[in-house]
Amino acid sequence: MQPIRDPQIKERLQAVLDLYETAEEMMRMKIRRRNPSLSDEEVEQQLIRWLEKRPDFAVGSEPESDSQQLWR
């Protein structure tokens, strides 16, 4: 695998990684807000379970929103 040399590609990749980390942290906060008595380890376990159950979706398509899933 060749190293990425194009600075624009590096910046875009870093932006994606930063967004992912932000989304993970937001989910941690949501879990903790809904379950304030959970330990840090329990929050991480719930985060992992949430990540594992997320449905895959085809490139170019969007996953259903929570409100769309409620109507099924």
Decide if 46 contacts 31 (C-beta within 8 A). yes
User: Residue 70: its pLDDT value, please?
Assistant: 42
CB atoms within 10 A of CB 31: 19
- Averaged pLDDT score across all residues of the chain: 83
Q: Please report, in tens digits, the pLDDT of each residue of the chain (72 residues total).
A: 888 888 899 999 999 999 999 999 999 999 999 999 999 999 999 999 998 887 665 555 555 555 455 444
Full-model pTM = 0.66
pLDDT confidence of residue 1: 81
Place of tokens 């809904």: 34
The pLDDT value given to residue 3: 83
- Ordered by start, the domain boundaries in the chain are 1-54
What single DSSP character describes residue 71?
A: T
Q: Which residues contact 46 (CB under 8 A, 6 or more apart)?
A: 31, 35, 38
Identify whether the C-beta of residue 31 lies closer than 8 Å to the C-beta of residue 47: yes
